[in-house]
Structure 1
């Protein structure tokens, strides 16, 4: 069981920044021929972050299937990242919480429904693993990493490129520092328990191949997150 302060506290590191940097690097095509990524030491030095932040970022990418590690050889790109998500940062300024959540409510329930029809058994196993990782995460940044990884895997397993492009745009906005801070403020111990249960219901429906149930479970989850974020923003403005 996570301690309430660990789950909702304000502190956050640089793992998300490292993750975004690695995704940009993978998408740029500027890696060596074998797809080898910079070493942990090189990333620590070039980005000015802790080794812990680097390891967290790489672990989240590995669990999404975007990179893989070979003992004694390094970390390698497993598949190309979609560069559209990086370019979408241009629409971040002036985009409201309500706009982004409305867009997510249009897109992600349908992605979950398609995922229920198309996800492979190994992808569903990874979804359960990611949902469990969030359930036992010990601090806000870890929660955000595993939460984002689960939603991205569901979107990827839906296998619909136009919807994935739209999702990537929204995901890039959600990776900004301001959005991270708002999502952390919106989390309470009760809401985190509810999120854990909601995620499991989504994954259960996907595993059952029940598209309607997956769509409904994702909509219920996003509706709850929207209410929490609107309340958190209102409290911050009071």
Structure 2
């Protein structure tokens, strides 16, 4: 496996690769993972990024930790991602946003109809993580933001749509587009995005599918607009 450069590697890169590693052992829950140091060396990513990715996987119930013993793969493995080879080179961030607008509002609607108490608790924990992120740490903000959206996709209870979400999200987190994502996340915009998250969560918690659909759509349209602005700004500087 080719190691990503340290400039491009971030917590999302670590999370994607760790999910792939966990999927390889989904039939043998309880399999121990290598240490953080070994994972960092294997993935070519810093230990901080590996630790952050493991935090997300633990919240999702994919792994469990026992002090003094190590980290182990849990019983719930993620859906295998769709084949993405070459897809990044054939698309762009605007197409990714179009795909998200077609998929994620529907997932939010289904989540409002199907989310169980465990789903709601997971989404709430993700929201609390987002709320407590240091504004000067965009890597961590993006990590928990993505995890919150994935928790909604899981709550929708449709494994095919979850697979589609994972495929789109993997492309979205392509390291080559990291600078555009950062440009679309000013402190004021992040505050607005977090407000959207709480509105989406409220609609899902109150079993309001149409409200959840519309709140998610508004959120993604805002993201799309910010991304278009970032692309135009980058073009102006060339």
What is the TM-score when the length of structure 2 is the normalising length? 0.88
The 5-angstrom pairing of residues 212-227 of structure 1 reads: 212-227=210-225
Partner of 2:106: 110
Alignment of 1:151-166 (within 5 A): 151-166=149-164
CA distance in 2, matches of 1:128, 1:200: 9
Q: Please point out which of 37, 43, 47 is paired with 2:43.
A: 47
How has the CA–CA distance of structure 1 residues 12 and 199 changed in structure 2, closer, same or farther, with 3 Å as cutoff? farther
Post-superposition offset of 1:120: 1.2
Which 5+ residue runs of structure 1 have no aligned equivalent? 1-10
Q: Determine which of 10, 14, 35 is the counterpart of 2:31.
A: 35
Q: Verify the 8 A CA contact 1:92 1:173 in the aligned structure 2.
A: yes
Describe the SS at the equivalent of 1:35. coil
Name which of structure 1's ranges 175-184 and 108-117 shifts more when overlaid on structure 2: 175-184
Contact 1:89 1:172 in 2 (8 A): no
Higher RCO (CA-CA < 8 Å; seq separation 6+) = 1
Residue correspondences, number: 227
Specify whether residues 99 and 12 from structure 1 end up closer, same or farther in structure 2 by C-alpha distance, changes over 3 A only.
closer
> In the alignment, is the contact (CA less than 8 A) between 2:93 and 2:172 conserved in 1?
no
Deviation beyond 4 Å, 4+ runs, structure 1:
30-33
Gaps in structure 2 of 5+ consecutive residues? 1-6
TM-score w.r.t. the length of structure 1 is 0.88
- Equivalent-residue separation in structure 1 for 2:85 and 2:63 (angstroms): 23
Aligned partners of 2:85, 2:127: CA distance in 1, in Å?
Answer: 27
Residue 68 of structure 2 is matched in structure 1 by 72
Match of 1:82 in 2: 79
1:6 corresponding residue in structure 2: none
Does the 8 A contact of 2:8 with 2:176 survive in 1?
A: no
